[in-house]
Chain A
């Protein structure tokens, strides 16, 4: 297939909706919450204009949104939902049921702070709260990535029979207009193919029971199998990302390494701040500083070996988290320590927390971090 390029100026939320329009999910249970609303509102307008044929279920809570998504996915449909913050927290119970039942569902997240105190702006507290829920978690840096990873994530979910979250930063990405390239709809549809559901609930001639009680003699095995499926999902992710690269020209992986090959100091982070940090890296490189960064793209499953390879030659690792793990090390910080320990590498690791509740982070602050001038753990 040839590459047809169409350029648009869209917010991250609209980019997600654009990708969804091309995917045209069959069922989409939705419930509003800032900053996710542009995704579902844009899609609702596509529906209202007859551009897509999707069963949008306007449920009465996020708990019901995920519950309906589970029902629809078990039934055999292609299913998408979207949320943020309190909504994701409210879903928490059923997130585990979606993954434990091995149901493909794509969920777009505009990552946002969690109350209390209530705050509608971006950070990663919400998605970190469900990092052990058995969902794949894919982070996006900008609107282009949101568009691309929405398509990749949908295909991946159905390939590995696990639910996938595609995460953008609330407001920074969800509400910022950027130029991006989109593919021809036909190309996306061809890339996606049809969902081939295993033992769908609607196959009444071959009845199955979804969600039984499993006791001491079987529960453990279910969970072992689930973890194996999660770990195996990385290879599928890479495969699908490679196929996608062939039609889009854009490459995605578990991590994006930027100027890291010969860097002495490497910053590990994700999301919209990565764009800012790249500018700083370029600036410092011009001044002769050997700095680089690693952007986490696939956070669950987390590929420690791959990260260790990227970090191998660095002397100092600087980890930027946009969430706390109150009472212990911040999430990315913990992962990086695990990575280094498992690779038998002893390196200096510095941990910083930034951007809570939508607080901006500026180039000068990132520069200070690289240059050892930021002493406080919190980049305020």
Chain B
């Protein structure tokens, strides 16, 4: 594999072929100008990258537990601050950027408090959420990022169920409420956009946040060759809009010219298969409404700020 690409995360990790996150990690860290230290929440990325005695990480990396990547990084980052101040950094003075990676479960759910605390305290780090919309490492259970209507192992479709009955929560709004300088929503299929956002996020002194769409071939149930195509559909249907909030200003960074119907996205994946029945037509209708309304709300936020 290309040396530059694998500068931080090598090949030979055990993520599924066609998984979204290796490309996300590489794209983001590839934009780093300084040395990088990584913290990782428990989840697929962590498990597939450090099976002892092997590690795919070529940069310092720490995994602590599921819910505490941000708190762990708080400690690492403050240790850096004081050791730098006291001229005690191993290997001499240098600039280090701190990057935490967490899945949606480790970020929206169990790690939300730890993330909120670290953002509020203003630590100098970038937190990257790779969002595969469920607890994948434990075999596909719902999280609060799982979309309404999706079937998971804890929200299975059945005679009396159409899958998840709740809307995903808007984590970007929650993160934005911490008044951080830069946060953005990106998608693994839009590399140029993702890299640009990574550059901006890494340049911030203080906390910054990236929420990146990360298809899961295994549990969304689609062929391994399709993750980019499916990720593109997520944005082209306005299911996953690309935007940023810079110094409080919302901006849509890539607006689809011809918005496709949401079903174009839904029909590519096994987790939505049950929705294509007569009985579940209202569910699809509601999903489309949610996507429309959420996008309209986002547009109104950008307009308000002009």
Contact = CB atoms under 8 A, between A and B. Distances in A.
Interface of A: 26-27, 29, 53-55, 57-61, 63-65, 67-77, 79, 93-94, 97, 194, 197, 200-215, 218
A64 B114 contact: yes
B86 interface: yes
Interface residues of B, number: 49
A14 B60 CA distance: 38
A204 B37 contact: yes
A94 B90 contact: no
Given A26-B86, A209-B57, A64 B68 contact: yes
Contacts of B52: 212-215, 218
A291 B116 CA distance: 57
A201 B62 contact: yes
15 contacts: A26-B86, A27-B79, A55-B82, A59-B71, A64-B68, A74-B62, A74-B75, A75-B75, A77-B82, A97-B65, A202-B37, A202-B83, A209-B50, A209-B55, A209-B61
A67 B80 contact: no
A142 to B, nearest CB: 32
B85 interface: yes
B55 A67 contact: no
A53 B35 CA distance: 26
Nearest to B46: A213
Contacts of B16: none
Nearest to A210: B62
Interface in B72-95: 72-83, 85-86, 88-91, 94
Q: Which 7 A-B pairs have CB atoms at the shortest separation, nearest pair first? A: A71-B75, A68-B75, A60-B117, A75-B79, A72-B75, A64-B71, A211-B63
A301 B94 CA distance: 40
Interface in B33-65: 35-37, 39, 46-47, 50-53, 55, 57-65
Contact of B72 (A71, A77, A200): A71
A76 B79 contact: yes
A197 B89 CA distance: 11
Contacts of A206: 91
B74 A29 contact: yes
A213 B75 contact: no
Given A73-B79, A79-B79, 17 more contacts: A26-B82, A57-B74, A58-B121, A59-B121, A64-B74, A68-B72, A70-B64, A71-B39, A74-B76, A75-B83, A77-B83, A200-B90, A202-B90, A204-B96, A207-B58, A213-B50, A214-B52
B113 interface: yes
Contacts of A75: 75-76, 79-80, 83
B114 A63 contact: yes
B80 A202 contact: yes
A55 B88 CA distance: 14
Interface of B: 35-37, 39, 46-47, 50-53, 55, 57-65, 67-68, 71-83, 85-86, 88-91, 94, 96, 113-114, 116-117, 120-121
A53 B53 contact: no
Main secondary structure of the interface of B (DSSP, over half): mixed
Contacts of B59: 204, 207
B100 to A, nearest CB: 10
A207 B61 contact: yes
Contacts of B75: 27, 29, 57, 67-75, 79
Contact of B78 (A68, A94, A200, A203): A68
Contacts of A201: 37, 60, 62, 76
A60 B113 contact: yes
A10 to B, nearest CB: 27
Contacts of A209: 50, 55, 57, 60-63
Contact of A61 (B77, B88, B90, B113): B113
A2 to B, nearest CB: 29
A102 to B, nearest CB: 13
B120 A60 contact: yes
Contact of B64 (A27, A55, A67): A67
A69 B81 CA distance: 14
Nearest to A101: B64
A63 B67 contact: yes
A64 to B, nearest CB: 4
Contacts of B117: 59-61, 64
B63 A63 contact: no
Contacts of B68: 63-64, 67, 94
B113 A71 contact: no
B91 A203 contact: yes
B175 to A, nearest CB: 15
Contacts of B83: 26, 75-77, 202
Contact of B94 (A53, A64, A204, A211): A204
Contacts of A27: 75, 78-79, 82
Contacts of B71: 59, 63-65, 67-68, 71
B78 A57 contact: yes
Of A54, A60, A206, which is in contact with the most chain B CB atoms at under 10 Å from its CB?
A60
Contacts of A215: 51-52
Contacts of B62: 71, 74, 201, 209-211
Contacts of B36: 204
A225 to B, nearest CB: 13
B51 A55 contact: no
B47 to A, nearest CB: 5
A218 B80 contact: no
Nearest to B55: A209
Contacts of B57: 207, 209
